[in-house]
């Protein structure tokens, strides 16, 4: 199994707790963290957002669908699925599990 996490922006302190809790109960799985900030953690495989450019990511990045939405949470909540899709393709991953980082 593979766990994929996504976070855009400054990494919150609870990311370490999330990684720890995943590894505590699943020590042999791979955790991929897609982010624009490196956590410098041995518990996960960090993948920079800039390494995951694809047709889907580019299309969404150029989209103006959320242009009038003042809360960036909504755009980022949708955006992560395009990055996760690209990560799965790039690394040929199967058996993926994804959840929000603050659910531990």
pTM of the entire predicted model = 0.90
Predicted local distance difference test score (pLDDT) of residue 43: 95
pLDDT digits (tens, 9 = 90+) for 45-84: 999 999 998 998 888 888 888 888 888 888 888 999 999 9
Q: What is the mean pLDDT of residues 9-22?
A: 92
Q: For residues 12 and 59, give the distance between their C-alpha atoms in angstroms, rounded to a whole number.
A: 28
Assign residue 13 a region (left: φ > 0; alpha: ψ between -120 and 50; beta: otherwise).
Answer: alpha
Positions of E strands within 1-104: 2-7, 30-35, 45-48, 96-98
Mean pLDDT value across residues 31-35: 97
Q: Which of 29, 74, 62 is nearest to 5 (CA)?
A: 29
What percent of the chain shows pLDDT beyond 70? 97
């Amino acid at each position: 199994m593979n766990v994929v996490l996504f976070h855009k922006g400054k990494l919150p302190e609870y990311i370490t707790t999330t990684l720890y809790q995943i590894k505590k109960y699943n020590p042999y799985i791979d955790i991929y963290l897609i982010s624009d900030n490196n956590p410098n953690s041995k518990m996960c495989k960090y993948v920079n957002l800039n390494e995951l450019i694809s047709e889907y990511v580019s299309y969404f990045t150029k989209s103006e669908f959320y242009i009038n939405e003042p809360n960036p949470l909504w755009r980022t909540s949708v955006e992560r699925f395009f990055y996760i899709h690209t990560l799965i393709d790039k690394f040929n991953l199967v058996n993926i599990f994804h959840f929000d980082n603050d659910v531990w």
